[in-house]
A and B are shown apart, each in its own frame.
Chain A
């Protein structure tokens, strides 16, 4: 029996459909929680050319959900490790690994080599970059995103359809990626497999593509809701108008917002008050003389406890809630307020160990 016989006997696929798969070129951005199941299923299905972009290395905490990797993969590049694993899965297809970071300067040339783009990235800056490059190169983009126990799937830029900027126009968002928060291991498996399904439907031209429809899945109650959204012509036109400058766009992922401060700098300042906005159970605790602990949600009610004549240095686990704290308090402009970038982790690097109770 042929490797693809179960496909070929399906009326909606047949030999011609399998040939379409074999001729298709799919580029997967990010070989993490979402990328792994996408890659596994499209490789098994016989997608002829698969590109994998990922600069990152396999860490132990990835193995709970990034199913292409094992203990022996630790410390190795994900794109290269995924390629190795997939070549074992299917030796009849071509797999190209791009073991570097997707950036504005390399995205357009990379995307132009493929028919379909899959977004399996883990941060907003890269998601907007992937979206804009897909618009400029006119490629359909299969989007998946996860948060703890919930996931979203949709297809952008399909037959001149809506894009990520039509669904979520605001670029400054504070949701975290999976390295900073927990995620149920099987969740990216479910969402990534749905993305793989959309990829196959696009190639085979069967079924209804999830264009301008956002599928929202909740693993805890198994609810699935499909939300419609519309195309925003102006948002897409703005991306296309910027085409000439696209390659020269400075990457935003590492930019500091005006209120953010490096831990090292913060610790060197005088007349400071550190404010820990984490919940009481969060560890490790920090012991400093000039420290106040008020969880974010109690901050407004306890504003009187904060000495606003001091330089206020807010911190949390990652630097997200501390930024929210500043926005929330809207203190007088005479008060200097800062959010410590990367929060407690970064502070611990510069504070002597004996002060830490873990």
Chain B
């Protein structure tokens, strides 16, 4: 399936885009992360949460929706 992936904050600087379509033939969150890490090695050292359908995904969840967001924590104040 094609997943519309949106990147926030620091993540969008690593990916050099705010959103893109990624072809993904798996189910597990871990598989999707592996795919992202292959595409963007710098993401490996970065903290972020994955959200699907506007809900943060648990590590053991499955990817069923075609829209995913990568959310890093922000420190600034």
- A residues near B, CB below 8 A? 30, 32-35, 119-124, 127, 144-148, 150-152, 167-168, 170, 172-178, 181, 183, 188, 214, 216, 225-230, 296-297, 300, 324, 327-328
Among B10, B58, B73, chain A packs the most CB atoms within 10 A around the CB of B73
- B residues near A, CB below 8 A? 8-10, 41-42, 44-47, 49, 51, 54-56, 58, 69, 71-77
Alpha-carbon gap, A146 to B54, bound state (A): 20
Alpha-carbon gap, A120 to B74, bound state (A): 12
Q: Knowing A173-B47, A226-B54, A227-B56 touch, does A144 contact B77 (C-beta < 8 A)?
A: yes
Closest to B72 in A: A175
Alpha-carbon gap, A119 to B74, bound state (A): 12
Chain B hits for A172, CB < 8 A: 47
Alpha-carbon gap, A259 to B10, bound state (A): 22
Contact, CB under 8 Å: B55 / A32: no
Least distance between A286 CB and chain B CB atoms (Å): 23
Q: A124-B73, A324-B42 are in contact. List 19 more A-B contacts (CB 8 A).
A: A34-B77, A122-B76, A122-B77, A127-B75, A144-B77, A145-B74, A146-B76, A151-B74, A167-B49, A174-B45, A174-B46, A175-B75, A177-B76, A178-B77, A214-B56, A214-B71, A216-B8, A227-B54, A228-B54
Chain A hits for B72, CB < 8 A: 147, 173, 175
Contact, CB under 8 Å: B74 / A227: no
Contact, CB under 8 Å: B42 / A296: yes
Alpha-carbon gap, A225 to B52, bound state (A): 12
Chain B hits for A174, CB < 8 A: 10, 45-47
Least distance between A288 CB and chain B CB atoms (Å): 26
Closest to B6 in A: A225
Chain A hits for B71, CB < 8 A: 214, 216, 227
Contact, CB under 8 Å: B56 / A228: yes
The list of the 10 closest CB pairs from A to B, nearest first, reads A145-B74, A173-B47, A147-B74, A229-B56, A122-B77, A327-B45, A146-B76, A178-B76, A168-B73, A147-B9
Contact, CB under 8 Å: A173 / B55: no
Cβ contacts A to B, 17 pairs, < 8 Å: A35-B77, A121-B77, A145-B74, A145-B77, A148-B9, A167-B56, A168-B73, A172-B47, A174-B10, A175-B9, A175-B76, A181-B76, A214-B56, A216-B71, A227-B56, A228-B54, A296-B42
